[in-house]
Amino acid sequence: MRRFYTVAGVLLLLGLFSFIIPDGLIFSDLNPDIAQGVQDVDKVDLHDSETGFLSGAWAGVKQFVAYSGFANVTYKHLLMLLVGLLFIFLAIRYDYEPLLLIPIGVGILIGNIPFVQDAGLKLGIYEDGSVLNILYFGVTAGVYPPLIFLGLGAMTDFSSLMSNPKLMLLGAAAQVGIFLTFLGAMVLGFSPPEAGAIGIIGGADGPTAIFLSSKLANGVNMWNGETVSNLIGPIAIAAYSYMALVPIIQPPIMSLLTSKKERVIKMKPPRSVTRLEKILFPIIGLLLTAFISPSSLPLLGMLFFGNLLKESGVTRRLADTARNSMIDTVTILLGLTVGASTQADVFLTTDSIMIFGLGALSFMVATAGGITFAKVMNLFLPKDEKINPLVGAAGVSAVPDSARVVQNEGLKYDPTNHLLMHAMAPNVSGVIGSAVAAGILLSFLL
């Protein structure tokens, strides 16, 4: 509950500030002397022999002050710095997704240090040629998400999915969140590419969300002659925040949509899967999904490639690198640059608030979609093969958080009913489903 209050508090704070603080209310407005100082220093030539030592030194000090963060700070910067610090605090104090929140939190700090814009300093993430901009290229060009998928593939065990393939349908059903959110975003006035990028938050998959938003809502591409807004930062932050909030969002929906009798359904233990099946899965999966939706090739190609490295048994070193050092390196770069992309002037907009609202809605719809479909499937399944509808909630990707939530909820009603392995099947199929959905949206909206 504490986790819910803290994150909800952050989001509320962001919302309130973006509504309360009008654009352009900056510190230098309140202190015109400093603002004037930035103008004046350019006029004083420090190399001029006519300039006296003292006046030259004074001009130098003024120049230094004008370029410092104190002279350029705005309320929005301070707010974002506060959010960054809070992310770091939550990660360290409550061990709350530390692998993501520490890089993102530090990224927010780095991205929101105030400095003189357009002075050719090449500091900001949106300034061409800056170090951060070069690292950010991995996000805008969609380089990092496929690499994350490679590591993910090398980590994931698909055997639970292969032992009971019909559970894959739950992963497909939960993708309803993506498409309903897409419609919702369109109703709120977003352009189709922006709406597609926002909708993918419902896929509950951070890398997929970043990949699609970097293609559809990157502030460069056009739709009907108009430039599409840059929504990568808000979408990524929303996707990762809600993924961390899965233990709060899902349980009420799970108990609302299921009866007590359904929650205690015991499922058959998964059968053991042969090595040949494990090797065939990534190969067939890759060929099939890539033929259906070639646009999702960068994500699914890497996911299945990583899985083949793991399952082939002959590329242990490559699999180890993919699932350890490589995914760690990319996570650091991705987290840092996504955090830094939340530069106050780009991030604190009413669009961001709407994205957070739509993101929450899409998670709820996706959860409900998975559970409802499990109930529908139960109508047609024989008595000994019934599915515990709680498992449907794991259809939203959020690997492995949502599967863990299903396990915990199942244990609440029957301490001997372990649903984790069953929940992993829709969980990983949700990853495949959301990547396919991203590919389809890309082919329609780009």
Partner 1 sequence: MISIILLAALGKFSFIVAFVGYLVVFFALVLLVIIFTNIPKLYHIQIRKKLRRKGKYIDRPEGCCMAISGETNAAIGLALFLYFNELHDHENMVMTIDKVSRRYSPWSSKIYGLTNYNFNRK
Q: Which two tokens stand for residue 385?
A: 């093969």
Rounded to the nearest 5°, which phi and psi values hold at 223? -140, 120
433 sits near partner 1 (criterion: CB under 8 A): yes
- Least gap, CB of 45 to partner 1 (angstroms): 59
Burial of 258 (0-12, 13-18, 19+ CB in 10 A): buried
- Nearer Cβ to partner 1 (155/283): 283
Contacting partner 1 (CB under 8 A), which of 71, 90, 148, 195?
Answer: 195
Binders of partner 1 in range 317-346 (CB under 8 A): none
271 sits near partner 1 (criterion: CB under 8 A): yes
252: Cβ–Cβ under 8 A, 6 or more apart, which residues?
A: none
- Nearer Cβ to partner 1 (102/185): 185
Long-range interactions of 407-416: CB distance < 8 A, separation 24+: 408/247, 409/250, 409/251, 409/254, 409/255, 409/263, 410/263, 413/260, 413/263, 413/264, 414/263, 414/264, 414/266
Contacting partner 1 (CB under 8 A), which of 102, 132, 180, 238?
Answer: 180
Q: Is 74 helix (H, G, I), strand (E, B) or coil?
A: strand
- Nearer Cβ to partner 1 (92/183): 183
Radius of gyration of the chain (CA): 25
Choices 105-113, 175-183, 326-334, 348-356 (CB under 8 A): range interacting with partner 1: 175-183
- Least gap, CB of 411 to partner 1 (angstroms): 15
Q: Which of 177, 101, 157, 109 is nearest to 331 (CA)?
A: 101
Contacting partner 1 (CB under 8 A), which of 274, 324, 325, 350?
Answer: 274
* # of chain residues touching partner 1 (CB under 8 A): 46
Is-contact 255 368, C-beta < 8 A?
no
Q: Which two tokens stand for residue 258?
A: 């299921």
- Token pair 């938050």 is found at 201
- Give how far Cα 338 sits from Cα of 183, 224, 329, 342, 400, Å: 26, 28, 14, 7, 22
Q: Is 274 left (phi over 0), alpha (psi -120 to 50) or beta?
A: beta
Choices 149-157, 170-178, 313-321, 336-344 (CB under 8 A): range interacting with partner 1: 170-178
- Least gap, CB of 293 to partner 1 (angstroms): 6
Rounded CA gap, 189 and 367, in Å?
Answer: 25
Helix axes 297-312, 420-445, angle to 10 degrees: 150
Choices 52-60, 99-107, 140-148, 271-279 (CB under 8 A): range interacting with partner 1: 271-279
Contacting partner 1 (CB under 8 A), which of 69, 165, 252, 313?
Answer: 165
- Nearer Cβ to partner 1 (3/266): 266
Choices 102-110, 179-187, 258-266, 377-385 (CB under 8 A): range interacting with partner 1: 179-187
225 sits near partner 1 (criterion: CB under 8 A): no
Choices 46-54, 71-79, 192-200, 236-244 (CB under 8 A): range interacting with partner 1: 192-200
**Can you say whether the dihedral through the CA atoms of 428, 433, 434, 435 is positive or negative?**
positive
Choices 66-74, 129-137, 307-315, 426-434 (CB under 8 A): range interacting with partner 1: 426-434
Choices 82-90, 117-125, 190-198, 330-338 (CB under 8 A): range interacting with partner 1: 190-198
415 sits near partner 1 (criterion: CB under 8 A): no
- Least gap, CB of 125 to partner 1 (angstroms): 31
- Nearer Cβ to partner 1 (170/237): 170
- Nearer Cβ to partner 1 (39/272): 272
Binders of partner 1 in range 276-295 (CB under 8 A): 276-277, 280-281, 284-285, 288-289, 292-293
Q: Helices (H) and strands (E) in the chain — how many of each?
A: 25, 2
- Nearer Cβ to partner 1 (176/245): 176
- Give how far Cα 42 sits from Cα of 37, 117, 119, Å: 9, 15, 11
Contacting partner 1 (CB under 8 A), which of 60, 69, 252, 269?
Answer: 269
- Can you list the positions of beta strands (E) in 212-367? 222-223, 226-227
**Contact residues for partner 1, defined by CB under 8 A:** 161-162, 165-166, 168-169, 171-173, 175-176, 178-180, 182-183, 186-187, 192, 195-196, 268-272, 274, 276-277, 280-281, 284-285, 288-289, 292-293, 429, 432-433, 436-437, 440-441, 444-445
